[in-house]
């Protein structure tokens, strides 16, 4: 597939394009998913601190940002962390504060402008991210993958969901399929990759749901239910992701 209509650079190569990373508003994303406190506190600064790890695609004809894939160096330790996305950010922040870049690399965020989806852009960017990670001296690219269609089956455990296959034996979920076709292999589930806790009034505003009964509440856009605790006046969303490893 020809992607000559895209110009893809790292933020290190084009630091002037850093402001464009904030121009990927996606109306299909549930509002509460932007409220992870670890991500809000750390993600923008870490991307700015490690610009060579973020790929930004610009549409040549219009100059508009088309897609982005952010990776970060971190220290995994003996095993990939159960905390997934949040754990990578915390480890990357600890490494950065210590004045070092971790030996491991994780993809953390990938997005394609809604009107450009279905054209193979995400697979193209993932291939370039693999190449960029190898260029930076790493032997593997990890990713706590957020399956794009899991929200359609929020009550199905992720361990079950990732086993679902199409007739050609490829993954049923499109984003898992992209990773597997690129050479990634499933390693483990990250059971608490992202955690969002807020008051019930805030959850009502985000979702339109009453949040007046204790227990799980299915909400639009969630990969799993939100756990409502009226007695304490809070509800918590804990999202599981699927760890994939790309050997380079």
Residues 30 and 222: their CA atoms lie apart, in Å, by 8
pLDDT grade for 240, boundaries at 50, 70 and 90: very high
The SS3 of residue 85 is: helix
Q: Which of 151, 60, 46 is nearest to 105 (CA)?
A: 46
> Tell me: the pLDDT tens digits for 18-35?
999 999 888 889 999 999
Over range 170-185, report the average pLDDT. Answer: 98
Q: Looking at residue 28, what is its pLDDT?
A: 86
Q: Looking at residue 26, what is its pLDDT?
A: 86
Q: Looking at residue 1, what is its pLDDT?
A: 81
Strand segments (E) across the chain: 6-10, 54-59, 65-74, 104-112, 140-145, 185-199, 215-217, 226-229, 234-247
Residues 116 and 122: their CA atoms lie apart, in Å, by 10
Residues 188 and 140: their CA atoms lie apart, in Å, by 16
Residue spans of alpha helices (H) in the chain = 37-49, 84-97, 121-135, 158-161, 174-181, 200-207
Q: What percent of the chain has pLDDT over 70?
A: 100
> Tell me: the pLDDT tens digits for 102-153?
999 999 999 999 999 999 999 999 999 999 999 999 999 999 999 999 999 9
Give how far the C-alpha of residue 61 lies from the chain's centroid of Cα atoms, to the nearest Å. Answer: 28
Residues 196 and 58: their CA atoms lie apart, in Å, by 32
Domains of the chain: 6-192+241-247 (3.40.630.30)
Rg of the chain on CA atoms, in Å: 18
Q: Looking at residue 171, what is its pLDDT?
A: 98
| Mean pLDDT, all residues of the chain | 97
Q: Looking at residue 153, what is its pLDDT?
A: 98
pLDDT grade for 70, boundaries at 50, 70 and 90: very high
The SS3 of residue 208 is: coil
Count of all residues that appear for the chain in the document: 248
Q: Looking at residue 167, what is its pLDDT?
A: 97
Give 246's strand partners: 141
Q: What percent of the chain has pLDDT over 90?
A: 97
Give 245's strand partners: 142, 185
> Tell me: the pLDDT tens digits for 79-91?
999 999 999 999 9
Joined together, the tokens standing for residue 69 give 């894939």
Q: Is the pTM value of this prediction over 0.85?
A: yes
């Amino acid at each position: 597939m020809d992607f000559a209509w895209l110009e893809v650079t790292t933020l290190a190569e084009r630091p002037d394009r850093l402001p464009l990373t904030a121009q990927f508003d996606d109306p299909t994303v549930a509002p509460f998913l932007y409220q992870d406190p670890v991500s809000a506190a750390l993600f923008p600064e870490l991307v700015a601190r490690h610009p060579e790890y973020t790929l930004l695609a610009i549409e040549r004809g219009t100059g508009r940002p088309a897609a982005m894939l952010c990776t970060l160096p971190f220290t995994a330790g003996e095993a990939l962390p159960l905390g997934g996305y949040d754990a990578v950010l915390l480890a990357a922040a600890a490494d950065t504060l210590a004045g070092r870049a971790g030996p491991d690399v994780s993809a953390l965020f990938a997005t394609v402008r809604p009107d450009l989806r279905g054209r193979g852009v995400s697979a193209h960017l993932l291939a370039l991210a693999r190449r960029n990670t190898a260029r930076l001296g790493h032997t593997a690219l990890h990713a706590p993958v957020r399956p794009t269609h899991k929200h359609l089956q929020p009550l199905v455990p992720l361990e079950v969901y990732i086993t679902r296959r199409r007739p050609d034996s490829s993954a049923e979920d499109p984003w898992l399929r992209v990773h597997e076709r690129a050479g990634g292999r499933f390693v483990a589930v990250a059971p608490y990759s992202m955690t969002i806790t807020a008051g019930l009034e805030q959850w009502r505003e985000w979702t339109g749901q009453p949040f007046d009964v204790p227990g799980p509440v299915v909400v639009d856009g969630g990969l799993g239910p939100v756990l409502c605790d009226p007695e304490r006046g809070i509800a918590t969303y804990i999202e599981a992701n699927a760890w994939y490893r790309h050997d380079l």
